[in-house]
Amino acid sequence: MAVVKFFWEVFVTLFVIIDPVGTVPVFLGLTRDRSDRDRSRLARQATVVAFGVIVVFALFGRTILDYLGVSLAALEGAGGLLLLLVALELLTGQAAEPTQAELERANVAFVPLGTPLLAGPGAIVAIMLFVQRVHGAGDGFALAAAIAAVALTVWAALRFALVVHRVLTDNGVELLTRISGILVAAIAVQLVANSAIAFAHSALFNSSGVQIPATVPTVDMQRPLAWAQQAHAR
């Protein structure tokens, strides 16, 4: 049951941060002069690039943190602030659009679609935080399955972007984007709160000099057993 809960937590968090539905209008704008075959190819490439970046940080993010000497609490705080910026962009609709020069220099499937629109700072930090909570094969499988499920969702949204936009219309896409912004803001506030509590807890124990024992002391049952045998003999 805990594994299923962890799967849905990862899936929902990545889904609202990446916001596949909100990316549909951007994708259509970037590929407006392309054929359907080119759109399909770009959707596949953007999905592979985005989740390739996420998988790399999921596998090697902890090594990077250890090398830089960054704690998990610091990562949570930084991630919360970054997610808050992402949430403000979703809520206000003021995300920076790529310039025409940027579009001409790069393949849109790599930049800006693959990163930073899909695999942005928020998604990278979120997946690194979830990796810290993996404590067994079940959690690892749930994390991998959630990443794959979100990747499939993103590919479907981009591959059938015209259909999605036609069904939801501009107003529907705008509404879902605003709802995603509210959810991302809530996640950001929770991360910042967790970071502050962790730093306060660490400072409290460091200042008081209290150390929590690594193991629970065991009770020697042989001595009371000997006393009971002597009393019975008397």
Q: Give the N- to C-terminal CA distance of the chain in Å, as an integer.
A: 56
d(CA 76, CA 56): 19
Q: What length does the chain have? A: 234
- Secondary structure string (H, E, C) spanning 17-64: HHCHHHHHHHHHHHCCCCCHHHHHHHHHHHHHHHHHHHHHHHHHHHHH
Which pLDDT tens digit goes with each residue over 31-74? 877 888 989 999 999 999 999 999 999 999 888 888 888 887 88
Structural domain spans, the chain: 2-208
Which pLDDT tens digit goes with each residue over 114-124? 887 898 878 88
pLDDT value of position 221: 40
Q: How many CB atoms lie within 10 A of CB 206?
A: 10
Contacts of 22 (CB under 8 A, 6+ apart): 90, 173, 176, 177, 180
Who has greater pLDDT, 81 or 97?
Answer: 81
Q: What is the pTM of this model?
A: 0.71
Indicate left, alpha or beta for 146 from its phi (over 0: left) and psi (-120 to 50: alpha).
Answer: alpha
d(CA 140, CA 144): 6
d(CA 146, CA 9): 9
Q: Is the pLDDT of residue 94 over 70?
A: no
**Residue type at 98 in one-letter notation:** P
d(CA 49, CA 79): 21
CA-closest candidate to residue 183, choices 11, 13, 60: 13
**Tokens found for residue 109:** 């499937």
pLDDT value of position 228: 46
pLDDT value of position 101: 56
pLDDT band at 149 (very low <50, low <70, confident <90, very high): very high
Cβ atoms of residues 90 and 28 within 8 Å? no
d(CA 204, CA 227): 43
